[in-house]
Structure formats: structure tokens, C-alpha cells
Amino acid sequence: MTDTIKIDLITPDSKVGPLLQKFPQLEDVLIRMSPAFGHLRNPVLRKTVAKVATLRQVARIGDVSLETLINTLRRAAGFKEEWNENDVAGASEGAPDWMQNATVAKSLDARPVIAGGGHPLEQVLKELKELPTGNIYLLITPFLPVPLLDLVKKQGHQVWSRKNDEGLHENYIRKGDGA
């Protein structure tokens, strides 16, 4: 395999699970980069989230620049070629209009679920399904759950997240029509 082909494995759209299978030494590198990446040691999250999470999503979860993440991983994998961040979308600036005067109808603090080795996805989807259209669901997590949020967006819900003063992520999900 040539160096160019291997480098293609470490791009913004590379999936974490397959990347760690190909380069197992990168797990420790990731965990040193951000405390949020320590969740990779959770077997349930490793089997579920890591299979679908891209490096682009992981960078947001760990609050690490995408360029830093990719280039650190490339160096650790033995590549010399660097990746340059061009037009990566920035973080959302402020609360969307639907959050103005919004009342949370249902909430879940997922920290105990995650700490216990579980994943809140099934519970979140079940509780969202039970909410009336337009209602707000609040999911509190110790890291930004990008794959979960991307999934609920694909289902037609609106999402907005912010990091609170305690360093926790408050993920607001507004139930969409027909979802």
C-alpha cells in the first residue's frame, strides 16, 4: 500500500472505528488529545458510535480543531503529508429563533447512562417519538454527541447545542413534523 492510499484513510470523513482497526495505536493518541475521547474505551460506544462517527464529528466532540486532529493522527500513523483545513463550517453562533422563549418538555441527563457503559440513543429516540411536534427535548451529555445529533437531524428534528458553565453539553432537540 502506498503512502497516498494510507493518507486517504485519515481525512475528515474517515470513520473512527475502521481507522482504529487499521491503526490501533491511534486510540491512545486520541485519548491524550481530549478527555472526551476517553469514551472510546467504553465497549458499547466503541461498537456503536465509533463505527459511524467521522473525524469531522469527533473533532467537534473533543473540541479539537479538525486540522490538528487529522494531522496529529497522520503523524502518529507515520505519514509525512499534512492535511490543510480549507472551508470547514464553524460552530453555530447563537440560539436559533425556535429557542427564543422555548420551554423544555422532556429532558435526559445521559451522564449516568454513559458512565454505566451504555448509550442513550434508544431512550432519546423513544422519548422524542412520544413528544408532540414542536416540543423541545433537552439531552445533557459530558461531550457533544455528534452522531446522535446528526441522526435526529436526518429524522427531521432541529438541533442546537451549547456548552454550559460546568462544561456539560446541553443539546436541545425540537421535534419536527412527521418525525
Digit-coded pLDDT (tens) for 18-65: 889 889 999 999 999 998 888 888 888 888 888 888 898 888 888 888
Measured between its terminal Cα atoms, the distance across the chain in Å is 45
Topology of domain 97-174, CATH: Translation Initiation Factor IF3 (3.30.110)
> CATH 1.10.3910 residue ranges in the chain?
3-76
Q: Is the pLDDT assigned to residue 74 strictly greater than 60?
A: yes
Q: What is the pLDDT of residue 89?
A: 32
Does this model's pTM top 0.75? My answer is no
Question: Quick one: cell of 147?
Answer: 452522531
Q: In this structure, are residues 57 and 19 in contact, taking their beta carbons and an 8 Å threshold?
A: no
Q: Is the pLDDT assigned to residue 77 strictly greater than 70?
A: yes
**Residue pLDDT, tens place only, 124-155:** 999 999 999 999 999 999 888 888 988 898 89
Q: How many C-beta neighbours within 10 Å does residue 113 have?
A: 18
Q: In this structure, are residues 152 and 124 in contact, taking their beta carbons and an 8 Å threshold?
A: yes
Residue 125 CA to chain centroid, in angstroms?
16
> CATH 3.30.110.40 residue ranges in the chain?
97-174
> At the top level of CATH, which class does the domain 3-76 belong to?
mainly alpha
